[in-house]
Amino acid sequence: MITTIIVFIIVFGILVIFHEFGHFITAKRSGILVREFSVGMGPKVFYYRKNSTTFTLRLLPLGGYVRMAGEADDGEDELKPGTPVTLQLNDQGVVTSINTSNKHSLFQGIPLTVTDTNLDTDLYVKGYENGDETQVKSYPVDHDATIIEKDGTALQIAPRDVQFQSASLPNRMVTNVAGVFNNLLLAILVYTILGFVQGGVQSNTNKVDVMPTNSVARSAGMKSGDRIIEVNGHKTTDWEDLTVQIRSKANKKITVKVDRNGQDKVLSMKPKAQSSGGQTTGFIGITQTMDKSFKAKILSGFTTTWSVAKQLFGALWSMVSGHFSLNDLGGPVAIFATTSQAAKMGLSGVLNFLAFLSLNLAIINLIPIPGLDGGKLVLNILEAIRRKPVSQTTETVITLIGFAFLMLLMILVTWNDIERYFLH
CB 228 within 8 A of CB 217: no
Residue 205: φ, ψ to 5°: -120, 175
- In this prediction the pTM is 0.75
CA distance 187 to 353: 10
- pLDDT: which is higher, 395 or 264: 264
User: Residue 378: left if φ>0, alpha if ψ -120 to 50, beta else—which one?
Assistant: alpha
Is residue 383 annotated as a catalytic residue, yes or no? no
The predicted structure's pLDDT at residue 422: 61
Structural contact between residues 205 and 243, judged by C-beta atoms closer than 8 angstroms: no
pLDDT mean over 339-363: 87
Instruction: Give the pLDDT band of residue 332 (cuts 50, 70, 90).
Output: low
HSE-CB for 229 with a 13 A CA cutoff: 13
Q: Where in the chain is the domain with CATH 2.30.42.10?
A: 204-288
Residue tagged active-site, from 20, 36, 71, 395 = 20
Under 8 Å CB-to-CB from 262, ≥6 apart: which residues?
none
CA distance 175 to 164: 10
| 65-74, 216-225, 353-362: range with lowest mean pLDDT | 65-74
Which residue type is seen at 110? I
Task: Say what the pLDDT of residue 253 is.
Answer: 94
Q: What is the pLDDT of residue 25?
A: 97
pLDDT at position 16: 93
Judge contact between 65 and 38, C-beta under 8 A.
yes
Pairwise CA distance, residues 25 & 32, whole Å: 10
Q: Which of 207, 211, 206, 201 is nearest to 286 (CA)?
A: 211
* CA distances in angstroms from 102 to 115, 149, 151, 154, listed in the order given: 20, 9, 8, 13
Beta-carbon contacts of 9 under 8 Å, excluding residues fewer than 6 positions away, are 61
User: Letter for the amino acid at 377?
Assistant: L
**pLDDT at residue number 227:** 95
Check residue 31 and give its pLDDT: 94
pLDDT tens digits along 222-251: 999 999 999 999 999 988 889 989 998 989
pLDDT band at 187 (very low <50, low <70, confident <90, very high): very high
User: 329: exposed, middle or buried (C-beta count within 10 Å: 0-12, 13-18, 19+)?
Assistant: middle
- Is the model's pLDDT at 212 over the cut of 60? yes
Could you give the angle at which helices 392-418 and 373-386 cross, rounded to 10 degrees?
A: 160
Q: How many C-beta atoms surround the C-beta of residue 211 within 10 A?
A: 19
CATH superfamily of 204-288: PDZ domain (2.30.42.10)
186 close to 253: Cβ distance less than 8 angstroms: no
**pLDDT category, 180, cuts 50, 70, 90?**
very high
The arithmetic mean of pLDDT across residues 205-229, rounded, is 91
Of 367 and 268, the structure prediction assigns the larger pLDDT to 268
